[in-house]
Amino acid sequence: MISMRAARLLFAAVLILLVLNFRQTMPADAVPQSPPTQLAGHNALLMGTNWYPEQWPEQRWESDLRLMEAAHLNVARLAEFAWSRMEPSEGRFDFDWLDRAIRLAEKHHISVVLGTPTAGPPAWLTQRYPETLRVEATGQRVTHGTRAHGSVTSNKYLEFCRRIAEEMAKRFGHDRNVVGWQIDNEYGYGMMSYNDEARRQFQDWLKAKYKTLDSLNEHWTTTYWSQSYDSWEEIPIPIGEHNPGLLMDWQRFVTYAWSSYQQNQIDAIRAQADARQFITGNFMGYGFDPIDHFVITKPLTFVAWDDYVGTGHLDADANGISHDAMRGLKRENIWIIETQPGFVNWSPLNNSLDKGEVRAMAWHDVGHGADEVSYWQWRSALNGQEEIHGTLVGPDGEPEPLLEEVAQAAKEFGELQGAFHDTRVVSDVALLQDYESRWAINWQKHTEKYDQSAILKSYYHALRKISPSIDIVSPDVSLDQYKLVVAPNLCLLPKQRAAHLVEYVNSGGHLVLGPRSGLKDEFNALLTIRQPGYLTAALGGRVEQYYALEKAIPASGSWGSGEASVWAEFLKTTAPDAQVLLRYGRSNGWLDGQPAVVSRTYGGGRITYIGAVLSDALVASAVDWMAKTSGISPAFGSVPDGIEVSRRVGPKGSVFVMINFKNEKQTVMLPRVMKSLLDRRELSQVQLPPYGVAILADQTKP
C-alpha cells in the first residue's frame, strides 16, 4: 500500500504531466489571452473623457486634470480635431503643447489616446489644395469649416494624412503615457467624393476585380436597359437608383476606399510606434451602414464606438444590439470611446437622461463587453458648432451636476475592475448580420415598411430572454460555439456561404433563417434556385412566392396564433420529413392556408425557415421553441420587464451585470445565492432602485 503522502505526490506528478501535455497539444492561439481592450498595467475597466486642451489657455489645464483625477477618470482622448495646432502651416509641426498636455495628464494618472486629426483638415491645406475637398453628388465642392470635408479618394489628401499621422507617431509612438491611437473620427460618415479622381479609382478597382468587361457585363446583366460597357471609362459612379450589381460594387468600393484611407495611417503609425500602443477607430454602432465594418475593422487592435441615445432614454435592446454588433465585428471586447454626458445637441429633442441613467448606461456597456467608457466631452469650446452639447464641466470650468454621477460610476469601475479582469462575453446564441444583404434589401425594399432593424430587434428582444448574451456576427465566421444561429434577413447567400451554413447544421447547430433569405448571389443578382437558394435541399422546402402585405394577416400553428405583417412568403415542403410549424390564415388567396414556417432536422442539427415578419407574441413563442429544440436554458431564470441581466465569463466564473431600466424600483429573485460586488453582500434576491445596478459574482461555470 502506498502512503497518503506518496499518493499525493503521485497525483501531483500526474497532474503536472497532464497540464504539460495539454499545453503542448493545444494550439497557441487556443489559449485565451487577455482581451486587447484590457491594457497591461492598467485597470481592466477604465473610464475617461474627451479633452481638447488646444481650445483652452494652458494655465487652465492643471485644474481640468485635477478635476478629472478627483472624478476617478483615468483616460483621455486628445487631438483628433487639433490639426491646425499641430501643423499650423504646411510642413511646420508643433507638438510641444501636446507633449506638455500629455505630461500633465500623466502627473494626474490619466492615460492618453491620441486621435489623428484627419476628419478636420486645416484651412491652409484645403485652400492651397482644393482637390483635397470632397465633391458632392451634385458636383459642388464642399466648403471649409465643417468637418469630414476631406476627400477619401484624393491622393494629395492621403499624402497629408499620412504625414501628420507619421509625425505624431514619431513624437509620441514611444510615449509611456500614450496607450493607443484612434484613426480619424467616424470615417467621414462614409461620404465619398463624386469627381473624376474617385471615378477613375472605382473603374480601376472594377478592372482588378473582374479582369474583363465581359465578366462584369455578365454579372451585372447589363444587357438590361442597354447598360453594357465597352470600356472601363464608361462606367459611372452610381447616383440615385441604379443597376443593383453596380450599386453593390460601388458600396464595396466605398468600404475599400475608407479601409485604404485607414491603412495609410495605420502604416504610418505602426512604422514608428511601440507595439503596445493599440490602434482603433471610432465607429457609430449598428445602424451606421455605408461601410462594411467587418472589412474595415480587420486591421485594428480592437473596435471602439461612440454610443449616443439622442432623444429619449436608454433602450436596452437598441443599445444592446449596437454593442453586440460592434463586439461581433472582431468577436472581442470593445471600448466606448465616446458617450453621452446627459444630453446631446444634434437630436430633434435633446432631453437629458434621467438622474442615475448615465451610470446605468455605463454598466450596461460593461455588461455587453465594454472595457472603457469615455464621455464626450469634458468641456465645450466657447464657440463652434457644438457649444450647447452636454459636458462634464460647464463653460465656467466648474463641474456640471452630472459629474458626480460619472465619478461614482468611475469609482465603481476602479473598485470592481478585478472581477472583470480577463472576462469576455461568451454566447450560445448568435444573430447573423451582413452589410451587403442589408444594402441589397434597402435598395429594393418592395414595401417601404420593410424595416430590417426592427425585425432584428424583435428577434433580439425575444432571444435576450433565453440568453444572457447574444453575439451579432458575420455569417462567414466559424459558428461552432453556437447552439442556435438566427439570420433574420440573409438576402445574399452565395454557394460558399451556403455550404458553410450547411456544415454548421450538419455538425449539430440549429440555423433559423428569416424572410428574404437566399434570394441573391454575391453580385446582387437573383439566384436561379428558389429561396433559400443553395439551402433548399437541406431545408427540404422552398419559397414559392413572396408578397408585400397591405395589412396584417393571421398566422397560426404549433407556435400559437398571431399575425404576419409587411411581408409574407408562401412556402412549400419538398422533403417528406420537413415539418410545417405555422400557416397563414385567410389573406390574398395566394397565401391562404399555405405554410409560413418550415423546419427540418438535417445532419446532426436543424434548419428552420420563417417566411414572414411575425408579430412579437409569435416571435416570442418561436424563440421559446428554438431554445427547447436547441438545448438552451436561460442561465439566469426569468427576470421582470425592464430588467436586463448580462453575463461576462472569465477564469474565476461569471459576473452578471443587472440593470433596472425603469424609473421605478424592482425586485429580482436570483437563481442561487450570489455575491453582490457593489455592496459586498451574499444575496438571494436583489432590490434595485430606479436605474439601479447590481454586479453579481457567480462561481458556477457556465
Residues 34 and 43: beta-carbon distance below 8 Å: no
- Minimum CB distance to ligand GLA, residue 282 (Å): 6
Element (H or E) spanning 335, and its range? strand 334-339
CA-nearest of 674, 665, 320, 641 to 468 is: 320
**Angle ∠(236,242,245) on CA atoms, nearest 5:** 85
Residue type, 310: G
Per-residue mark of binding to ligand GLA, 94-113 (x: CB under 6 A): --------------------
389 binds ligand GLA (CB under 6 A): yes
- Catalytic pick among 80, 332, 338, 405: 338
Residue type, 527: L
Cα 128 from Cα 399, distance rounded (Å) = 42
Residue closer to ligand GLA, measured from CB, 249 or 338:
338
Residues 272-301 binding ligand GLA (CB under 6 A) are 282
Active-site residue flag, 415: no
| Positions of E strands within 108-251 | 111-115, 178-183
- Minimum CB distance to ligand GLA, residue 630 (Å): 38
306 binds ligand GLA (CB under 6 A): yes
Cα 193 from Cα 202, distance rounded (Å) = 11
Task: Retrieve residue 660's grid coordinates.
Answer: 433596472
Residue closer to ligand GLA, measured from CB, 115 or 532:
115
Q: Which of 54, 186, 471, 521 binds ligand GLA (CB under 6 A)?
A: 186
Per-residue mark of binding to ligand GLA, 312-341 (x: CB under 6 A): --------------------------x---
Q: Where are the alpha helices (DSSP H) in 507-644?
A: 536-539, 616-630
55 binds ligand GLA (CB under 6 A): no
Strand partners, 520: 492, 526
Query: What interhelical angle do 244-270 and 196-210 show, nearest 10?
Result: 100
Residue type, 282: N
DSSP 8-state class, residue 120: S
Q: Which of 93, 232, 308, 443 binds ligand GLA (CB under 6 A)?
A: 308
Residue closer to ligand GLA, measured from CB, 11 or 189:
189
Instruction: Compute how many residues bind ligand GLA; rule: CB under 6 A.
Output: 10
77 binds ligand GLA (CB under 6 A): no
Q: What are phi and psi of 566, to 5 degrees?
A: 70, -50
Q: How far is CA 339 from CA 173, 373, 456, in A?
A: 26, 7, 24
Active-site residue flag, 405: no
Q: Which of 198, 344, 370, 655 binds ligand GLA (CB under 6 A)?
A: 344
Q: Which of 106, 167, 354, 386 binds ligand GLA (CB under 6 A)?
A: 386
182 binds ligand GLA (CB under 6 A): no
Q: Which of 187, 194, 256, 376 binds ligand GLA (CB under 6 A)?
A: 376
Residue closer to ligand GLA, measured from CB, 83 or 376:
376
Residue closer to ligand GLA, measured from CB, 331 or 389:
389
- Minimum CB distance to ligand GLA, residue 373 (Å): 14
Contacts of 662 (CB under 8 A, 6+ apart): 642, 643, 690, 691
422 binds ligand GLA (CB under 6 A): no
- Minimum CB distance to ligand GLA, residue 186 (Å): 5
Residues 696 and 683: beta-carbon distance below 8 Å: yes
Residues 374 and 338: beta-carbon distance below 8 Å: yes
- Minimum CB distance to ligand GLA, residue 385 (Å): 8
Cα 626 from Cα 511, distance rounded (Å) = 10
- Catalytic pick among 54, 80, 87, 186: 186
Q: Catalog residues that contact ligand GLA under the rule CB under 6 A.
A: 185-186, 282, 306, 308, 338, 344, 376, 386, 389
Q: Catalytic positions, please?
A: 186, 338
